[in-house]
Amino acid sequence: MSFIIVTGLPRSGTSATMGALRHCGIPIVGAKYPVTTMPNNSRKQLQIEGGWLVWYDSEKDELVPARPSNPNGFWELASINKRGLQKDHEIFDGWVIKVTIDKIERSNKDMIDKAIVVLRDLEVVLYSHLKWMEDIWKHNMDQCALFCIQKMQEGIRCLKENNKEIKYLIYDELVNHPLETLTDLCKWIGRGEPQYGAETITPKLRRSKRYMDLPKDIRREMRSYYRELIREAKSQ
Protein backbone atom coordinates (compact mmCIF):
# COMPACT_ATOMS: atom_id res chain seq x y z
CA MET A 1 0.00 0.00 0.00
CA SER A 2 1.16 3.54 -0.68
CA PHE A 3 -1.47 5.78 0.84
CA ILE A 4 -0.65 9.35 1.78
CA ILE A 5 -3.24 10.65 4.22
CA VAL A 6 -4.16 14.23 5.08
CA THR A 7 -5.06 14.40 8.74
CA GLY A 8 -5.76 16.87 11.50
CA LEU A 9 -8.60 18.01 13.70
CA PRO A 10 -11.98 18.75 12.15
CA ARG A 11 -12.05 22.49 11.30
CA SER A 12 -8.24 22.67 11.09
CA GLY A 13 -7.86 23.09 7.33
CA THR A 14 -7.77 19.49 6.10
CA SER A 15 -10.48 20.19 3.50
CA ALA A 16 -8.63 23.23 2.16
CA THR A 17 -5.47 21.14 1.95
CA MET A 18 -7.24 18.36 0.04
CA GLY A 19 -8.79 20.86 -2.35
CA ALA A 20 -5.42 22.51 -2.98
CA LEU A 21 -3.74 19.15 -3.66
CA ARG A 22 -6.49 18.29 -6.12
CA HIS A 23 -5.76 21.48 -8.07
CA CYS A 24 -2.04 20.70 -7.92
CA GLY A 25 -2.92 17.68 -10.06
CA ILE A 26 -2.33 15.17 -7.27
CA PRO A 27 -4.91 12.33 -7.29
CA ILE A 28 -7.20 12.59 -4.28
CA VAL A 29 -10.17 10.45 -3.43
CA GLY A 30 -13.29 11.79 -1.76
CA ALA A 31 -16.58 13.50 -2.37
CA LYS A 32 -16.76 17.27 -2.49
CA TYR A 33 -19.89 16.89 -0.36
CA PRO A 34 -19.85 13.39 1.19
CA VAL A 35 -22.76 11.00 1.50
CA THR A 36 -24.83 11.26 4.64
CA THR A 37 -25.80 7.64 5.30
CA MET A 38 -23.77 4.45 5.54
CA PRO A 39 -25.85 1.23 5.42
CA ASN A 40 -23.53 -1.58 6.48
CA ASN A 41 -25.07 -4.09 4.10
CA SER A 42 -25.25 -1.88 0.99
CA ARG A 43 -23.34 -2.64 -2.15
CA LYS A 44 -20.36 -0.47 -3.08
CA GLN A 45 -20.44 1.74 -6.12
CA LEU A 46 -17.45 3.64 -7.50
CA GLN A 47 -18.16 6.61 -9.74
CA ILE A 48 -16.40 9.59 -11.26
CA GLU A 49 -18.25 12.86 -10.76
CA GLY A 50 -16.86 16.21 -11.79
CA GLY A 51 -13.29 14.97 -11.82
CA TRP A 52 -13.16 13.35 -8.37
CA LEU A 53 -13.74 9.84 -7.17
CA VAL A 54 -16.93 9.24 -5.21
CA TRP A 55 -17.45 6.01 -3.31
CA TYR A 56 -21.14 5.54 -2.66
CA ASP A 57 -22.36 2.95 -0.20
CA SER A 58 -25.92 2.93 -1.47
CA GLU A 59 -27.76 4.18 -4.52
CA LYS A 60 -30.12 5.95 -2.12
CA ASP A 61 -27.44 7.96 -0.31
CA GLU A 62 -27.73 11.71 -0.65
CA LEU A 63 -24.89 14.22 -0.85
CA VAL A 64 -24.42 16.76 1.94
CA PRO A 65 -25.24 20.21 0.50
CA ALA A 66 -22.72 23.05 0.37
CA ARG A 67 -22.22 24.73 3.72
CA PRO A 68 -20.82 28.15 4.69
CA SER A 69 -18.30 26.33 6.89
CA ASN A 70 -16.83 24.49 3.87
CA PRO A 71 -17.93 26.41 0.77
CA ASN A 72 -15.27 24.73 -1.40
CA GLY A 73 -16.14 21.20 -0.31
CA PHE A 74 -15.01 18.58 2.20
CA TRP A 75 -13.13 16.14 -0.11
CA GLU A 76 -13.61 13.11 2.11
CA LEU A 77 -15.29 9.70 2.24
CA ALA A 78 -18.21 9.07 4.57
CA SER A 79 -16.99 5.51 5.12
CA ILE A 80 -13.67 6.77 6.51
CA ASN A 81 -15.47 9.32 8.67
CA LYS A 82 -17.33 6.42 10.23
CA ARG A 83 -14.65 3.75 10.69
CA GLY A 84 -11.28 5.03 9.55
CA LEU A 85 -9.11 3.78 6.70
CA GLN A 86 -9.68 0.04 6.23
CA LYS A 87 -8.71 -2.86 3.98
CA ASP A 88 -11.65 -2.35 1.67
CA HIS A 89 -10.30 1.09 0.75
CA GLU A 90 -7.32 -0.52 -0.98
CA ILE A 91 -8.94 0.11 -4.37
CA PHE A 92 -7.69 3.69 -3.89
CA ASP A 93 -4.06 2.63 -3.48
CA GLY A 94 -1.75 5.45 -4.53
CA TRP A 95 -4.28 8.24 -3.99
CA VAL A 96 -4.27 10.87 -1.25
CA ILE A 97 -7.09 10.30 1.28
CA LYS A 98 -8.38 12.43 4.14
CA VAL A 99 -8.55 10.76 7.56
CA THR A 100 -9.29 13.06 10.48
CA ILE A 101 -6.95 12.69 13.43
CA ASP A 102 -9.61 11.09 15.65
CA LYS A 103 -9.89 8.18 13.15
CA ILE A 104 -6.18 7.34 13.02
CA GLU A 105 -6.19 4.83 15.88
CA ARG A 106 -9.11 2.85 14.47
CA SER A 107 -7.60 2.82 10.96
CA ASN A 108 -5.64 -0.09 9.50
CA LYS A 109 -2.07 1.15 10.01
CA ASP A 110 -0.74 -1.03 7.20
CA MET A 111 -2.78 1.09 4.80
CA ILE A 112 -0.88 4.28 5.72
CA ASP A 113 2.46 5.12 4.15
CA LYS A 114 2.87 8.83 4.91
CA ALA A 115 0.82 11.45 6.75
CA ILE A 116 0.35 15.17 6.16
CA VAL A 117 -0.66 16.54 9.57
CA VAL A 118 -2.37 19.94 9.36
CA LEU A 119 -1.66 22.20 12.33
CA ARG A 120 -3.90 25.13 13.21
CA ASP A 121 -4.09 27.27 16.31
CA LEU A 122 -6.20 25.15 18.66
CA GLU A 123 -8.15 28.14 19.98
CA VAL A 124 -9.08 29.08 16.41
CA VAL A 125 -10.19 25.47 15.81
CA LEU A 126 -12.25 25.67 18.98
CA TYR A 127 -13.96 28.89 17.88
CA SER A 128 -14.78 27.26 14.54
CA HIS A 129 -16.28 24.29 16.37
CA LEU A 130 -18.50 26.65 18.34
CA LYS A 131 -19.52 28.61 15.24
CA TRP A 132 -20.27 25.72 12.89
CA MET A 133 -21.05 22.87 15.30
CA GLU A 134 -22.77 24.87 18.03
CA ASP A 135 -25.48 22.34 18.86
CA ILE A 136 -22.83 19.74 19.72
CA TRP A 137 -20.35 21.80 21.73
CA LYS A 138 -22.18 24.91 22.89
CA HIS A 139 -22.39 23.85 26.53
CA ASN A 140 -19.27 21.66 26.54
CA MET A 141 -16.45 23.86 25.31
CA ASP A 142 -14.09 22.78 28.09
CA GLN A 143 -14.52 19.14 27.03
CA CYS A 144 -14.15 20.12 23.39
CA ALA A 145 -10.82 21.82 24.17
CA LEU A 146 -9.53 18.76 26.00
CA PHE A 147 -10.84 16.52 23.20
CA CYS A 148 -8.80 18.51 20.64
CA ILE A 149 -5.61 18.12 22.64
CA GLN A 150 -6.20 14.44 23.40
CA LYS A 151 -7.01 13.45 19.82
CA MET A 152 -4.01 15.30 18.40
CA GLN A 153 -1.73 13.62 20.93
CA GLU A 154 -3.18 10.16 20.34
CA GLY A 155 -3.20 10.44 16.56
CA ILE A 156 0.36 11.74 16.22
CA ARG A 157 1.65 9.23 18.76
CA CYS A 158 -0.05 6.42 16.84
CA LEU A 159 1.59 7.51 13.57
CA LYS A 160 5.01 7.71 15.22
CA GLU A 161 4.68 4.37 17.00
CA ASN A 162 3.85 2.76 13.66
CA ASN A 163 6.87 4.42 12.00
CA LYS A 164 4.88 6.54 9.57
CA GLU A 165 6.61 9.43 7.87
CA ILE A 166 5.00 12.70 8.97
CA LYS A 167 4.96 16.02 7.16
CA TYR A 168 3.53 18.87 9.22
CA LEU A 169 1.62 21.58 7.36
CA ILE A 170 1.05 24.79 9.32
CA TYR A 171 -2.31 26.23 8.28
CA ASP A 172 -1.26 29.85 8.81
CA GLU A 173 1.66 29.33 6.43
CA LEU A 174 -0.66 27.73 3.86
CA VAL A 175 -3.01 30.72 3.80
CA ASN A 176 -0.31 33.40 4.06
CA HIS A 177 2.29 31.81 1.77
CA PRO A 178 0.35 29.30 -0.35
CA LEU A 179 2.79 28.94 -3.24
CA GLU A 180 5.84 28.41 -1.04
CA THR A 181 3.98 26.04 1.28
CA LEU A 182 2.50 23.94 -1.54
CA THR A 183 5.82 23.88 -3.41
CA ASP A 184 7.42 22.33 -0.34
CA LEU A 185 4.51 19.92 0.09
CA CYS A 186 4.50 18.80 -3.55
CA LYS A 187 8.25 18.22 -3.33
CA TRP A 188 7.70 15.99 -0.30
CA ILE A 189 4.93 14.07 -2.07
CA GLY A 190 7.05 13.78 -5.21
CA ARG A 191 4.64 15.29 -7.72
CA GLY A 192 2.19 18.12 -8.33
CA GLU A 193 2.11 21.63 -9.77
CA PRO A 194 1.82 23.94 -6.74
CA GLN A 195 1.00 27.10 -8.67
CA TYR A 196 -2.47 25.76 -9.49
CA GLY A 197 -3.18 24.68 -5.93
CA ALA A 198 -2.08 28.06 -4.61
CA GLU A 199 -4.86 29.70 -6.62
CA THR A 200 -7.46 27.97 -4.41
CA ILE A 201 -6.16 29.55 -1.21
CA THR A 202 -8.18 32.77 -0.95
CA PRO A 203 -8.27 35.55 1.67
CA LYS A 204 -11.58 34.25 3.04
CA LEU A 205 -9.62 31.29 4.46
CA ARG A 206 -7.66 33.63 6.72
CA ARG A 207 -10.02 33.30 9.66
CA SER A 208 -8.21 33.67 12.95
CA LYS A 209 -10.77 34.46 15.64
CA ARG A 210 -10.06 32.55 18.84
CA TYR A 211 -12.37 31.10 21.44
CA MET A 212 -11.28 32.87 24.61
CA ASP A 213 -13.85 31.85 27.22
CA LEU A 214 -11.85 28.97 28.66
CA PRO A 215 -10.45 28.31 32.13
CA LYS A 216 -6.88 29.60 32.34
CA ASP A 217 -5.39 26.16 32.92
CA ILE A 218 -7.03 24.70 29.79
CA ARG A 219 -6.08 27.72 27.67
CA ARG A 220 -2.51 27.45 28.94
CA GLU A 221 -2.41 23.74 28.07
CA MET A 222 -3.79 24.36 24.56
CA ARG A 223 -1.27 27.11 23.82
CA SER A 224 1.62 25.13 25.24
CA TYR A 225 0.79 22.05 23.17
CA TYR A 226 0.30 24.08 19.99
CA ARG A 227 3.68 25.75 20.47
CA GLU A 228 5.19 22.30 20.95
CA LEU A 229 3.69 21.12 17.66
CA ILE A 230 4.91 24.23 15.82
CA ARG A 231 8.45 23.72 17.16
CA GLU A 232 8.39 20.16 15.92
CA ALA A 233 7.09 21.28 12.53
CA LYS A 234 9.75 23.98 12.21
CA SER A 235 12.48 21.46 12.99
CA GLN A 236 11.62 19.23 10.02
Share of the chain above pLDDT 90, in %: 54
The class that CATH gives domain 3-234 is alpha beta
Higher pLDDT, 90 or 21: 21
Whole-prediction pTM: 0.84
The answer to whether 167 touches 114, Cβ cutoff 8 Å, is: yes
Higher pLDDT, residue 34 or 177: 177
By C-alpha distance, which of 12, 17, 5 is closest to 162? 5
Give the mean pLDDT of 78-99. 86
pLDDT of residue 71: 65
pLDDT tens per residue, range 112-167: 999 999 999 999 998 887 776 555 556 678 888 898 999 999 999 999 999 999 99
Distance, in Å, from the CA atom of 82 to the CA atom of 70, rounded to the nearest integer, reads 19
The strand pairing partners of 3, in sequence order, are 112
* Domain limits, the chain: 3-234
Tens-digit pLDDT profile for residues 1-10: 678 999 999 8
Render pLDDT for 194-223 as a digit per residue (tens, 0 to 9): 999 999 998 777 777 887 788 999 999 999
